[in-house]
A and B are shown apart, each in its own frame.
Chain A
């Protein structure tokens, strides 16, 4: 089947059309297979991939036998160390040393079987029968070995992508915790998971996504904890992904999530292996994609978005305190500007008198109504933040300070905004950065704007209606079958131990019920 597809593709590209006679077909057939003729084989391979500048052909003779062979590899993808120190020597120098006595008897050819079984002392060796296969393997980093006189070639596993060193993930730095982050290499990442100690039950199932440039994707779960229906659902959704290229896990996230219209992320992403492992232990499923350090975790609930692994590494009192702080920050980030607008523009009677007087004093002279003022500052801060991300490292932080302080000061001096508003906006901005999950912080930042508009039109009532609307939406949202607002609702008191407070580890005995795990008790 595959060959026919390739054939038709090639024919469509105009090299040889289908109408051409069978001899062309047969010649294609035959060109795909290795022939007896070493030179011809070489020609065919060169035709296939020789035009790439990074494909190298190294011809040599095996040992002292005079039998020609060639090693084909891609510089940069293959482990040249392996080639130079193990493959070539075992075929050249060591070969002649080993088989000194048999040398006169080896004439003509050596079978690849022999080479594979006796000579090559490297871990991955397999045979290929067609040029196409050889080409694709070489182009992914393996080394091809063609020997004069044999009908098939050997593929030696020498793939070694240049990866960066393991360093702490930039987007999720912790004060206390392993300073390890995923890298772009899928095998490295899965090795992290294996290395966590969970061995027999950790299942890593591979899929390929992307119709055109196929990428490897691994679904990870712990067999005896996870709910099999969940795994099935995840796998189904992955199989349904129909797109030509998947450059980053974000694409996968967007293609498998439940509700693409919702501003709330329903899939969690992380660079930290410890987070993934913790999630797996709760019965969740992780998805790793080759080429990106961001792994996905499903299903996800709102409370997970506001948690950080650090909560668990510290003791329960600091953990609880920080968590409560974070919840407060989330509420502030979302509602402060809208409450400001509501109270200033609509309900001056609801704020303390002294505060009202000082606000009046500050705001007299400001030409804009509260909404415009707030929008102005908020949008400026967003633009500043975005700009700060793109600037080169030395300028970035300075820009933040410059922007924040000086522009805020200048705006107050110019009488465009009031000092109270600057405080409000600063508080909001800082609060939104206290959220550990970047995408959730973003969501809150975005939702701030509709809240402000509601406040500007209907005052406090508008804010309340907005809150009801947002909560109604959250209440209907599900991530892979798990309600987004678990474990707050439905009431399950036993799960509240990990919600806004972090109860001592001694007391957290069960896995979350919402995951319908098979193995509900954590402790023995």
Chain B
């Protein structure tokens, strides 16, 4: 049976109408090479960069308060073509542009007055300077980024001690700072001294939940960066209230049990020499204990690993006693780290950034409801007991040392 063609005519008429109208333009079409790809942004306290001052002197400025400076790291078409066409290793692979003002989005749009428009689809990192984090509520700072449909929720958030824009600089040719930061953030499997990466989406969740949390800190000197320590953000105020150094951060990782790899250095009691324990896996269980109105926590930390480096002479790794000694020594070290950081958390900063509250919420939701409001305060007074158990599985390919 041939198909009926009675309906074809009206269909074609409507189709031609639509087609002709569509010819009026491809409205959203923006060629990729006409855009600047924003791949990283840094927020600093407002200080107008030199260029801007000059521009403002020559032309008309606009109504704004110099609250903060955004530095955008972009890949321009020129930069991209030089990287791909290998025009010469001396060329920089990125461009940093700064704007000062009081509205995040407006500053970004200001850029379109100076260059090609900026797209934020490929933003990889947001770096905030400590000064800003101390003075402004993070929720306000990040509002635009969270609201914008262009910013991907997978963007990482970092904090720096100095000027954030410095972390977006590098002296190595061919290297792009934003990518470098991204790369370092993925190294959790090598060290326990950094936090698992915090994408924008999790930041929002934490901010909205009112609990305190940690943000990875970046230090930059002379074009080099290092992930060192973390800043403490208080849940109530959303502002930075403290800082944990690398050791303390390591302690937090042990408490939360989220480490994937890394090393633990300890010193042998008798000889005072170094023993290095390499972590293969770690696990921790935080158990809240509620007796009436008293809350306490039991933390059990377990880990398996290998003995990677020992300076103890004599030390025969082929013998179990030596391994036991190494284990004990490492366990002591873990306990020390944990104790240190707990003190800092409870006494000095009065925040719970290791997820104790979360465990309480899961195990005793009714109790959690009651103490939720002032948890940071309550937490600073809860006793915490901890037990550490390490197991050394192997010790590599070299064994005894002669006595």
With contacts A261-B8, A353-B124 known, is A360 near B37, CB below 8 A?
Answer: yes
A481 to B119, CA, bound (A): 53
Q: Is the CB of B32 within 8 A of A363?
A: yes
From 3 to 57 in chain B, residues with beta carbon under 8 angstroms from any chain A beta carbon are 3, 5, 8, 22, 26, 28-33, 35, 37, 39
Which one, B26, B30, B121, B150, contacts A456 given CB within 8 A?
Answer: B26
Chain A residues positioned under 8 Å from B35 (CB to CB): 348, 360
A458 to B19, CA, bound (A): 12
B339 in the interface, Cβ–Cβ < 8 Å?
no
A476 to B77, CA, bound (A): 47
Distance of B153 from chain A, by nearest CB (Å): 13
Chain B residues positioned under 8 Å from A348 (CB to CB): 30, 32, 35, 37, 119, 121-122
> 1/0 per residue A253-273: CB within 8 Å of B?
000001101000000000000
Chain A residues positioned under 8 Å from B77 (CB to CB): 360-361, 363-364
Q: Is the CB of A358 within 8 A of B84?
A: yes
With contacts A349-B119, A365-B81 known, is A357 near B30, CB below 8 A?
Answer: no
A324 in the interface, Cβ–Cβ < 8 Å?
no
Q: Is the CB of B33 within 8 A of A364?
A: yes
Distance of B77 from chain A, by nearest CB (Å): 4
Distance of A383 from chain B, by nearest CB (Å): 25
Q: Is the CB of B2 within 8 A of A259?
A: yes
Q: Which one of B83, B84, B85 has the highest number of Cβ atoms from chain A below 10 Å of its Cβ? A: B84
A344 in the interface, Cβ–Cβ < 8 Å?
yes
A364 to B2, CA, bound (A): 52
B113 in the interface, Cβ–Cβ < 8 Å?
no
Q: Is the CB of A366 within 8 A of B33?
A: yes
A474 in the interface, Cβ–Cβ < 8 Å?
no
- By beta carbon, the residue of chain B nearest A469 is B15
A512 to B305, CA, bound (A): 61
B1 in the interface, Cβ–Cβ < 8 Å?
yes
A344 to B85, CA, bound (A): 20
Which one, A349, A359, A366, contacts B150 given CB within 8 A?
Answer: A349
Q: Is the CB of B84 within 8 A of A353?
A: no
Q: Is the CB of B26 within 8 A of A353?
A: no
Q: Is the CB of B121 within 8 A of A349?
A: yes
With contacts A353-B39, A357-B37 known, is A258 near B3, CB below 8 A?
Answer: yes
Distance of A3 from chain B, by nearest CB (Å): 38
> 1/0 per residue A329-355: CB within 8 Å of B?
000000000000001111011100100
From 94 to 140 in chain B, residues with beta carbon under 8 angstroms from any chain A beta carbon are 119, 121-122, 124
Q: Is the CB of A360 within 8 A of B81?
A: yes
Distance of A453 from chain B, by nearest CB (Å): 9
Q: Is the CB of B80 within 8 A of A344?
A: no
B75 in the interface, Cβ–Cβ < 8 Å?
yes
B78 in the interface, Cβ–Cβ < 8 Å?
yes
Q: Is the CB of A364 within 8 A of B81?
A: yes
Q: Is the CB of B32 within 8 A of A359?
A: yes
Chain A residues positioned under 8 Å from B39 (CB to CB): 353
Distance of A340 from chain B, by nearest CB (Å): 11
A108 in the interface, Cβ–Cβ < 8 Å?
no
- By beta carbon, the residue of chain B nearest A461 is B28
A370 to B32, CA, bound (A): 9
A478 in the interface, Cβ–Cβ < 8 Å?
yes
Distance of B67 from chain A, by nearest CB (Å): 28
Q: Is the CB of A356 within 8 A of B122?
A: yes
Distance of B203 from chain A, by nearest CB (Å): 20
A358 to B83, CA, bound (A): 8
Q: Is the interface of A mostly helix, strand, loop or mixed?
A: helix
Chain A residues positioned under 8 Å from B33 (CB to CB): 359-360, 363-364, 366
Q: Which one of A259, A345, A349, A476 has the highest number of Cβ atoms from chain B below 10 Å of its Cβ? A: A349
Distance of A80 from chain B, by nearest CB (Å): 48
Q: Is the CB of B2 within 8 A of A345?
A: no
A353 to B120, CA, bound (A): 11
Chain A residues positioned under 8 Å from B30 (CB to CB): 345-346, 348
From 137 to 165 in chain B, residues with beta carbon under 8 angstroms from any chain A beta carbon are 150, 152
Q: Is the CB of A345 within 8 A of B31?
A: yes
Which one, B22, B32, B119, B124, contacts A345 given CB within 8 A?
Answer: B32
Q: Is the CB of B121 within 8 A of A478?
A: no
Q: Is the CB of A345 within 8 A of B29?
A: yes
Distance of B81 from chain A, by nearest CB (Å): 4
A17 in the interface, Cβ–Cβ < 8 Å?
no
A346 to B114, CA, bound (A): 23
Chain B residues positioned under 8 Å from A258 (CB to CB): 1-3
A369 in the interface, Cβ–Cβ < 8 Å?
yes
Distance of B109 from chain A, by nearest CB (Å): 18
Chain A residues positioned under 8 Å from B81 (CB to CB): 360-362, 364-365
With contacts A258-B3, A476-B3, A478-B1 known, is A360 near B80, CB below 8 A?
Answer: yes
Chain B residues positioned under 8 Å from A477 (CB to CB): 3
Distance of A267 from chain B, by nearest CB (Å): 13
A353 to B73, CA, bound (A): 14
Chain B residues positioned under 8 Å from A353 (CB to CB): 37, 39, 122, 124
- By beta carbon, the residue of chain A nearest B85 is A361
Chain A residues positioned under 8 Å from B84 (CB to CB): 357-358, 361-362
A504 to B61, CA, bound (A): 76
A34 to B85, CA, bound (A): 91
Chain A residues positioned under 8 Å from B82 (CB to CB): 361
Q: Is the CB of B29 within 8 A of A361?
A: no
A75 to B337, CA, bound (A): 109
A459 in the interface, Cβ–Cβ < 8 Å?
yes
Q: Which one of B22, B35, B124 has the highest number of Cβ atoms from chain A below 10 Å of its Cβ? A: B22
Chain A residues positioned under 8 Å from B31 (CB to CB): 344-345, 363, 369-370
From 44 to 82 in chain A, residues with beta carbon under 8 angstroms from any chain B beta carbon are none
Distance of B85 from chain A, by nearest CB (Å): 7
A457 in the interface, Cβ–Cβ < 8 Å?
yes
Chain A residues positioned under 8 Å from B29 (CB to CB): 345-346, 369, 456-457, 459
Q: Is the CB of A364 within 8 A of B83?
A: no
Distance of A455 from chain B, by nearest CB (Å): 9
- By beta carbon, the residue of chain B nearest A341 is B29
Distance of A337 from chain B, by nearest CB (Å): 15
Distance of B234 from chain A, by nearest CB (Å): 34
Chain A residues positioned under 8 Å from B8 (CB to CB): 261
Chain B residues positioned under 8 Å from A259 (CB to CB): 2-3
- By beta carbon, the residue of chain A nearest B124 is A353
A346 to B30, CA, bound (A): 6
With contacts A344-B31, A345-B31, A348-B32 known, is A357 near B80, CB below 8 A?
Answer: yes
Distance of A421 from chain B, by nearest CB (Å): 12
From 372 to 401 in chain A, residues with beta carbon under 8 angstroms from any chain B beta carbon are none
A346 to B77, CA, bound (A): 17
> 1/0 per residue B231-247: CB within 8 Å of A?
00000000000000000
- By beta carbon, the residue of chain B nearest A481 is B1
With contacts A346-B30, A361-B84 known, is A356 near B3, CB below 8 A?
Answer: no
Chain A residues positioned under 8 Å from B75 (CB to CB): 357, 360
CB-defined A-B contacts under 8 Å, sample of 7:
A261-B8, A360-B33, A360-B37, A362-B81, A364-B78, A370-B31, A457-B26
Identify 10 new A-B residue pairs, CB closer than 8 A, beyond the known A344-B31, A353-B39, A457-B26: A258-B1, A348-B30, A348-B121, A349-B122, A353-B122, A357-B84, A358-B83, A363-B77, A456-B26, A477-B3
Instruction: Mark A residues whose CB is within 8 Å of B.
Output: 258-259, 261, 343-346, 348-350, 353, 356-366, 369-371, 456-459, 476-478, 481
**3 closest A-B pairs (Cβ-Cβ)?**
A349-B121, A361-B84, A361-B80
